[in-house]
Amino acid sequence: MKIKKLFMLLLVGCMVACGGETFPKPKAFLRLEYTDGNYQKTNLGNCPFSFEKNSMADAELKEGCSFNLNYNEMKAAIFVTYKSVNNNLEPLLADAQKLTYEHVVKADNIVEQPFVNQENKVYGMFYKVSGNAASQTQFYVTDSTKNFITGSLYFYAKPNYDSILPAAEYLENDIRRLMESFKWK
C-alpha cells in the first residue's frame, strides 16, 4: 500500500513539475565578426606593381613576383600569380576564365563583374562564386600591354559555403580593395 501511494505521489509530482508548453530551441548561427580592415600600401621587392593589403594578411613573395596573402586567423589565402604580357594577352585571359569556370561543377552561380580604373590603367574582372566550390572568389587585373595578374581565394578546409560565407565576404572586400588600389610602376 505504501508503494502505491509513493508511486501515485511521484506520478502527480512529475505531472505538476512538467507544467507549461515546451518549445524547440531555435537554430543557432555562428556569429563571426572581423575587425575593419587596416590597409597599407605594399611593394614586393622589384615587382612592377604596388597595392594595398589588409594588415591581417601576411604577404609571402614567391618566384617571379607571384605572391600569397595568408590570412592565418581565417585559415585562408589569396594566391596571386604574375605573368608578363608578350603578345599573349588573349591566351592569358582565356586561362584566367577557364580557371574560374572549372568551378562550375560545384558552384551554384558565378557572377562576373568587370573592373576598369582608367587613371591607373588597371583593367580586370572579378568573379564571385557561390556554392561549395573550392574557391569563392577569382580575379584578374592587367595593364593590357606588359603585366597580367590572376588571383584566387582558397580556404584550408573542405568547402561548405554556409560555414565560410562570413569569411568569404570579408575577404571578397579585401580583394576588391586590392584591385582598386593596384598601380603599375
The low-confidence residues of the chain, meaning pLDDT below 70, are 1, 6-7, 11-32, 103-106, 159, 162
Residue 37's pLDDT is what?
82
Residue 125's pLDDT is what?
96
Q: Phi-psi category of 45—alpha, beta or left, where left has phi over 0 and alpha has psi -120 to 50? A: left
CA neighbor of 149 nearest in space, from 76, 71, 48, 45: 48
Going from the N-terminus, what domains does the chain have, and what CATH number goes with each? 59-185 (3.40.1000)
Residue 171's pLDDT is what?
92
Residue 3's pLDDT is what?
74
Residue 183's pLDDT is what?
95
Answer for the pair 126, 137: CB distance below 8 angstroms, yes or no: yes
Residue 130's pLDDT is what?
82
Map grid coordinates 584550408 to a residue: 156
Residue 29's pLDDT is what?
57
Q: Which residues contact 83 (CB under 8 A, 6 or more apart)?
A: 92, 147, 148, 149, 150
d(CA 65, CA 81) in angstroms, rounded, equals 7
